[in-house]
Amino acid sequence: MTADGLRIGICGLGTVGSGVVNIFNSHGGLIRQRCGVDLRLTHIGARRDNPDCDLASYRVSRDIFEVVRDPDVDIVVELIGGTTVARQLVMEALEQGKHVVTANKALLAEHGNELAAMAEQRGRALRFEAAVAGGIPVIKTLRESLAANVVSGVVGIINGTGNFILTEMASAGRSFEDVLAEAQALGYAEADPTFDVDGTDAAHKLVILSSLAFGVPLDKDGPFTEGIDRVAPEDLEFARELGYRIKHLGIARRQQAGLDLRVHPALVPEHRQLSQVDGVLNAVMIEADAVGELMLTGPGAGSLPTASAVCGDLVDLGRTLAGITGDPVPILGIPTADLTAQPLLSPDAVTCPWYLRLVASDRPGVMAEITRLLGDSGISIESLIQRPPQGDASHVSVVMLTDRVSGGQIGSAVAEIEMLSALKGGVTTLRVENFEEA
Ligand SMILES: NC(=O)c1ccc[n+]([C@@H]2O[C@H](COP(=O)([O-])OP(=O)(O)OC[C@H]3O[C@@H](n4cnc5c(N)ncnc54)[C@H](OP(=O)(O)O)[C@@H]3O)[C@@H](O)[C@H]2O)c1
């Protein structure tokens, strides 16, 4: 910070970086007015220009590290993604005495403890509102607005691509591959959509949310993770018939025995607000003791929504830094030395109702055998649908909703059912999230 104000350098000029430049180009005056200091974009690091934004007013370097080493930059905005060069970049920025704003959830989930501690030691800020749920201000809500609450749970739809794919498959009966190709064409999905599809991206975000909610270190391997690729079009149809929608959820709950951290598709009752959050929208529901239950919803990705969160961090930081050194807001809500690991629950121990779907020979005794195997494992069936699969009169599709049982109980019963010769293929298992106490 100089008498001239705060100067910002951006590294990376893709979807989010160009959005930040566009917001500064159109709202620079408003931002300075709201910030109270002269917050100014000065230096852009980009390997190439981006036709979506005008760089005429800025210094541009093809080497992003020139931004980090520029003595005329006070805040470095890391928007390159990935975890290797991005880690190097953020570390060097902090070493150079810069404050850092990032949208990079993978970097935080993997190296966040190290980077937060380093920023803290050097009295520098590390802000990351855009890293979770894009434009939704969930980080600030958890870290600051709910600072007086004990948070018991955070449940959310935190990957827009996954939600778009499930919504389209459910409403238009389209195949997974077809919708994924459209999501890529529309720019929702990454060129390599693996992390969107296999749940890794949502798991990274859940790691960040659970650290803020429960005061635990960031642990990228913490959450049990399943992707949307295990959901077939017929599961979406059967779920609807049973009064549910299938959503890909991130769930972080504080239980007596430890933390329950999970990312997986789940059946959500259709009367719950969360089940109505469609398309690329995200939603995060927070359960906390003083405030009760609240839900934030909005665009979880995209150029301007994500840039809005980045710029919000910059304004906040500008206000905080005016006249002082160091960020008085602890990066993870509490000093990093006070972050304390807690035991994690095994998914086998966590209970919930389950959705089971299988295809079996349509002959007498088969259903009785399946229900006996479930009964032997202490599992009761709450609802059942039975119907022939299309074009196959000799088999029957069976869908069951069970009572609340543990993952371990379901796993062993399903292993036995899958040994029956009458079964065609495996058993699809999906959890039901009905927001009732375990
Ligand atoms: N897109 C969203 O909606 C969204 C939402 C929330 C968070 N985020 C996060 O925001 C970050 C940026 O995402 P994005 O969607 O803007 O990505 P993107 O469109 O792929 O843009 C990345 C930019 O970084 C540059 N870059 C990448 N690696 C580089 C390297 N080693 N050296 C120099 N430049 C490099 C790229 O340059 P080239 O063009 O030359 O490759 C490009 O300009 C990621 O961490 C992402 O997870 C994105």
**Domains of the chain from N-terminus onward:** 6-134+303-338 (3.40.50.720), 138-298 (3.30.360.10), 351-432 (3.30.70.260)
| Across 327-340, average pLDDT | 73
Ligand 1 center from residue 190 Cα (angstroms): 10
pLDDT in tens, 121-136: 999 999 999 999 999 9
In the predicted structure, residue 323 carries a pLDDT above the cut 70: no
Distant-in-sequence, close-in-space partners of 23: CB < 8 Å, separation ≥ 6? 31, 304, 307, 308, 311
Query: How far is 29 from 26, CA to CA, in rounded Å?
Result: 8
pLDDT of residue 333: 63
What is this structure's pTM? 0.89
Give the position, in ligand 1's atom list, of the atom nearest the Cα of 19. 16
Residue 250, CA distances (Å) to 53, 162, 212, 261, 263 in order = 34, 12, 15, 8, 4
Ligand 1 center from residue 96 Cα (angstroms): 22
Evaluate whether 312 touches 27 at the Cβ level (below 8 Å).
Answer: no
The pLDDT-based confidence of 207 (bands split at 50, 70, 90) is very high
pLDDT of residue 119: 98
Mean pLDDT of the chain: 93
The pLDDT-based confidence of 394 (bands split at 50, 70, 90) is confident
pLDDT of residue 279: 93
Helix, strand, coil share (%) of the chain residues, nearest 5: 40, 25, 35
In 3D space, the residue among 237, 183, 227 whose CA is nearest the CA of residue 202 turns out to be 227
Give the position, in ligand 1's atom list, of the atom nearest the Cα of 301. 3
Amino acid at 236: L
Phi, psi angles (nearest 5°) of residue 184: -70, -40
| Across 73-97, average pLDDT | 97
- 225 in ligand 1 pocket by Cβ < 6 Å? no
- 41 in ligand 1 pocket by Cβ < 6 Å? no
The pLDDT-based confidence of 371 (bands split at 50, 70, 90) is very high
Q: Is 220 among the catalytic positions?
A: no
The pLDDT-based confidence of 35 (bands split at 50, 70, 90) is confident
Share of the chain above pLDDT 90, in %: 81
In the predicted structure, residue 254 carries a pLDDT above the cut 90: yes
Nearest CA to ligand 1 atom 4: 301
Could you tell me the two tokens for 96? Answer: 């150079």
In the predicted structure, residue 165 carries a pLDDT above the cut 60: yes
In 3D space, the residue among 84, 61, 85 whose CA is nearest the CA of residue 13 turns out to be 61
In the predicted structure, residue 335 carries a pLDDT above the cut 80: no
Residue 411, CA distances (Å) to 226, 259, 353, 375 in order = 15, 21, 13, 14
Distant-in-sequence, close-in-space partners of 14: CB < 8 Å, separation ≥ 6? 50, 79, 80, 81
- 302 in ligand 1 pocket by Cβ < 6 Å? yes
pLDDT in tens, 407-417: 999 999 999 99
Which is the catalytic residue, given 105, 205, 220, 247?
205
Give the position, in ligand 1's atom list, of the atom nearest the Cα of 187. 1
In the predicted structure, residue 153 carries a pLDDT above the cut 60: yes
